[in-house]
Amino acid sequence: MSAVILVGAQWGDEGKGKIVDVLARDAHWVVRFQGGNNAGHTLVVNGQRRVLHLLPSGILHSNVKCAIGPGVVLDPEVLLQELKALAESGIHVPPERLRVSDAVPIILPWHREIDRLREARLGAGKIGTTGKGIGPCYEDATGRRAIVARDLTDKARLLTALQRIAPDVTLLLASLGVAEPDWETVADHYVALGQKLLPHLDDVGARIDEALTAGEKVLMEGAQGTLLDVRHGTYPFVTSSATVAGGACTGLGIGPTRIDRVVGVVKAYATRVGSGPFPTELNDDIGQRLRDVGHEYGSTTGRPRRCGWLDVFALKHAARLNGLSGMFLNKIDVMSGLERVAICTGYTIDGVPVRDFPSHSVDLERAVPVYEWHDGWQENISGCRNFDALPVTTRAYIRRIEALTGIGCDLISVGPDRDESIVLRATWPA
């Protein structure tokens, strides 16, 4: 059996979509275990760019099965739209190729509304969510008020489930100045969507367990990033799910002893979209240059991403939280043309070196990065296909990141396309 968990090691948008697409070549299954359509994973194949929000990034490989675990929150309309868009481009996904947990919590219209209204109320202190209703849906799941996929398969069942939660929903909506939903209309609409989902519904944990027992390779695709984890991220400027590797087990329904490897996707510099502390942020020409050259605009919301130097102190925190055994270093091509490049190796607070990553935003806001400087490189490296072809200073930068984190690179990515990669070692266990 081979189970590999792949997570974002920073604040999301590390290039997970590309890496999953590369690893999917050798996978039998690619599965999502948390998050929802707040994710935006970009895949570039033969120059054609696609962004997936909910479907696992293995979906373009016709021999790979995909699954969405019960740890995800699912907007059925988004899922059906993505399937439709794929079908229009000639990729038909039969139900047996996409299994969806029948226990997955469903994002309902008021989740999106609550998300947006709460953000508006927070004003300048807003989280900067994607507005997709992710947080409110997870709140309902944890609060034992979720409507789950299997509730959508029968109108009487759905109405009973809606009646149970109606008093809570109505109370909350009223506090935000929103009228009570028409439950009958809601039920009709979601039962119709449920009929379309029905052929996909399954016990995803059981299917993955069977696949592993049969010796198949399963890639677990994280969304967002470690520093957005609801418990270990830069709280409260986080998403509402467990983005760390541990979340894969609970988000799918398999045990930790089934996992072989955990790999982290790392962008060669740092970005963040939305509010919250970002110690190595560059509000200058270099930050703007990284944004322009790296096309750092959100795949889900189109917002400009904040850019900064690579934060290895935060990366070591991510390595510990996830138990990383390998790294994928992406977008190093974007750093070409800089005279000098910096790596943050630690923080001080009030002049005192910090021992552990201060993840709470109140503490992190006070952190001052400690940098070490390296020579940059001027060459366009997107054509490089082996490590020795990289400029000596690029190699030194990569080796320094490996030395500081104690984690080796499986792959260096030098461009968005599947093939713009330097493979250093196998990710799948032999």
Buried b / exposed e over 363-388, threshold 16 CB at 10 Å, is ebeebebeeeebebbeeebeebeeee
Which one, 299 or 427, has the nearer CB to ligand IMO?
299
Buried b / exposed e over 310-345, threshold 16 CB at 10 Å, is bbbbbbbbbbebbebbbbbbbbbbbbbebeebbbbe
296 binds Mg ion, rule: CB under 5 A: no
- Near ligand IMO in 222-251, by CB under 6 A: 223-225, 228, 237, 239-240
- Which position among 44, 80, 128, 193 is part of the footprint of ligand IMO (CB under 6 A)? 128
- Near ligand GDP in 32-61, by CB under 6 A: 40-42, 44
- Indicate which of ligand GDP, Mg ion, ligand IMO, none lies near residue 228 (CB less than 5 to 8 Å, by partner kind): ligand IMO
Q: Among 212, 225, 196, which Cα is nearest to 253's?
A: 212
Residue type, 77: E
Catalytic residue list contains 410: no
- The piece of 123-131, 188-196, 202-210, 370-378 that touches ligand IMO (CB under 6 A) is 123-131
- Which position among 5, 11, 14, 21 is part of the footprint of ligand GDP (CB under 6 A)? 14
Chain Cα centroid distance, residue 425: 23
263 binds ligand GDP, rule: CB under 6 A: no
Catalytic residue list contains 292: no
Chain Cα centroid distance, residue 157: 33
- Indicate which of ligand GDP, Mg ion, ligand IMO, none lies near residue 15 (CB less than 5 to 8 Å, by partner kind): ligand GDP
Q: Within 10 A of 150 (CB to CB), how many other CB atoms are there? A: 19
- Which position among 2, 130, 234, 394 is part of the footprint of ligand IMO (CB under 6 A)? 130
Which one, 240 or 299, has the nearer CB to Mg ion?
299
3-state DSSP assignment of residue 386: coil
Q: What is the DSSP string of 140-172?
A: HHHTT---BGGGGG-HHHHHHHHHHHHHHHHHH
Smallest separation (angstroms) from ligand IMO to the CB of 316: 20
12 binds ligand IMO, rule: CB under 6 A: yes
Sign, CA dihedral 205-207-210-215, equals negative
Say which DSSP state 303 is in: P
- Which position among 239, 299, 359, 421 is part of the footprint of Mg ion (CB under 5 A)? 299
Q: Among 296, 288, 306, which Cα is nearest to 331's?
A: 296
Name the residues that contact ligand IMO, by CB under 6 A.
8, 11-13, 38-41, 127-130, 132, 134-135, 223-225, 228, 237, 239-240, 273-274, 299
Name the residues that contact Mg ion, by CB under 5 A.
13, 40, 299
Instruction: List active site positions.
Output: 13, 41
